Amino acid sequence: MNFNLLKKELKFTYKNTILWSLLFVLFTGMYIPMSNQILSQSNNVLELINNMPKFLLESFNFSEQIFTKPEGIFGSEGMSFVYLLGAVFSAMLVGKVFADEYEKGTIEYLSVKPISRSTLYITKFTNIMINILFLNIIFTLSVVSMYAIFMEYEYNPEILLAFGIYSLTVQIFFSSISVIISILTQNNSSNLGISLSILIFMYFGDTMAKTIEATSWIKYFSIFNYIPLMETVLEEKIFWVNSLIILLISFGIYYFSYYLFKNKDINV
């Protein structure tokens, strides 16, 4: 690890991460008080839900039970946004840390300074982890405190921690995907394009797989299938092991990217 480089890396990324953290805080700050209001008028909401097509309900993680649990409304709809926004944040962060260096040619400067490519990679990896961890700590604290402040109904705080873990898992997974794409394409537009395509395929593929029988195979290729929000809320079951396996796969991808980074030609 090179602290000089880490300092520069953090300086280049911290503003964006703080802005994204604010976005997450604002989002939870608006969504959770709203959840409390919805719960207090749940009869009207349940009437509406009962009149909606089943396909639509499943597509948007709507169900009667979800709307009667305090963790349910945020855990279904709110967390879906958190997943999507978090994955976009990760892809953009990695784009800035890796792809931009290739695209703007600054990787040439770094590669000739007296640090090895391994140190360069590890330092950049550390920066990505610091930013993602920071965002997710802020997010988890925000969820826990918003529930504590605004939720008048009894809820399970462990589920809230699971939301934090799931969010972290999604972001680390998509950051690992973006790193490999950044190194292979050496271009930020390609990184964002491909990473977001994978996100859309995984997220909407998983939704589709749950509602259309013929496409049910897609769910096996989606990480969202293994950290299901509905089951987590309804059964109060936290998928720790699945999260851990996804994290291990992500670090495996990071390790493979490290090998690529060390050996691939730098073409600027």
Partner 1 sequence: MIKVENIKKYYGKYLGVEDISFKIKKGEIYGLIGPNGAGKTTTIRAMMGMISIDEGRITIGDKNIPHDLKHIKNKIGYLPGEVNFYENMRVKDFFDFNDRFYKNIDKKYEKELIDLLELETNKKFKELSMGNKKKVGIIQAIVHRPEYIIFDEPTNGLDPLLQHKLYNILEKEKERGATILFSSHILSEVEKICDKVGIVKKGKIIKESNIEEISKVSKKTITIYKLKERNKFNDFEIKEQTDSFITYLVKNDDLNSFFEILSKCSYEDIEIKRPSLEEIFIDYYRSDEE
| For partner 1, the closer CB: 154 or 265 | 265
Per rule CB under 8 A, count of chain residues that contact partner 1: 20
Candidates 18-26, 56-64, 99-107, 138-146: pick the segment binding partner 1 (CB under 8 A): 99-107
Exactly one of 52, 105, 129, 149 binds partner 1 (CB under 8 A); that residue is 105
Candidates 102-110, 177-185, 189-197, 235-243: pick the segment binding partner 1 (CB under 8 A): 102-110
Mention every residue, 6+ apart, whose C-beta is less than 8 A from residue 112: none
Candidates 18-26, 35-43, 113-121, 155-163: pick the segment binding partner 1 (CB under 8 A): 113-121
| For partner 1, the closer CB: 53 or 114 | 114
220 binds partner 1 (CB under 8 A): no
| For partner 1, the closer CB: 44 or 267 | 267
Candidates 103-111, 124-132, 142-150, 230-238: pick the segment binding partner 1 (CB under 8 A): 103-111
260 binds partner 1 (CB under 8 A): no
106 binds partner 1 (CB under 8 A): yes
Exactly one of 41, 44, 47, 112 binds partner 1 (CB under 8 A); that residue is 112
Binding footprint of partner 1 on the chain (CB under 8 A): 2, 4, 8, 12, 104-106, 108-109, 111-116, 263, 265-268
